[in-house]
């Protein structure tokens, strides 16, 4: 875990099986590395255990938007299963209050926009949006 003095964030690259994703820990001070590391470890374990639920939450929030507004010409509407299979974990931004946002690569579901899922400190999924 490295502290980026330019952004004021801790940053860590996580390799899980054959996939790599990044965690940025925002609003920590440089001397709070132990707290930032503990939070990143906790979040990684939570995400590993709950990734399918998070993806299903994305589908429940965004599938109708995809199928009603974001279909390419002659593209067939997606099923929930297809939506879930298409999105991939990209990165996480965590905050010192223990909340975090999970970003997914949309793999062109929304023409290259990221999908952001907000998770509060109690680990409740609160919202899913298109970002960027």
> What mean pLDDT do residues 101-118 have?
96
- Choose between 20 and 100: higher pLDDT: 100
- Choose between 46 and 28: higher pLDDT: 46
Domain ranges for the chain, please list them. Answer: 2-131
Return the closest-CA partner of residue 104 out of 114, 113, 93.
114
pLDDT of residue 58: 97
The whole-model pTM stands at 0.93
Spell out the residues 6+ positions from residue 71 whose beta carbon is closer than 8 angstroms to its own: 77
Q: How confident is the model at residue 15 (pLDDT cuts 50, 70, 90)?
A: confident
């Amino acid at each position: 875990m490295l502290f980026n003095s330019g952004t004021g964030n801790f940053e860590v690259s996580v390799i899980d099986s054959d996939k790599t994703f990044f965690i940025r820990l925002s609003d920590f001070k440089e001397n709070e590395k132990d707290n930032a590391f503990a939070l990143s470890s906790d979040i990684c374990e939570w995400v590993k255990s709950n990734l399918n639920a998070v993806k299903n939450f994305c589908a429940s929030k965004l599938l109708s938007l995809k199928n009603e507004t974001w279909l390419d010409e002659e593209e067939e509407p997606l099923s929930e299963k297809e939506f879930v299979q298409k999105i991939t974990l990209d990165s996480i931004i965590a905050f010192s209050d223990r909340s975090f946002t999970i970003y997914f690569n949309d793999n062109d579901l929304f023409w290259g926009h990221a999908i952001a899922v907000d998770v509060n400190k109690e680990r409740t999924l609160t919202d899913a949006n298109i970002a960027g």
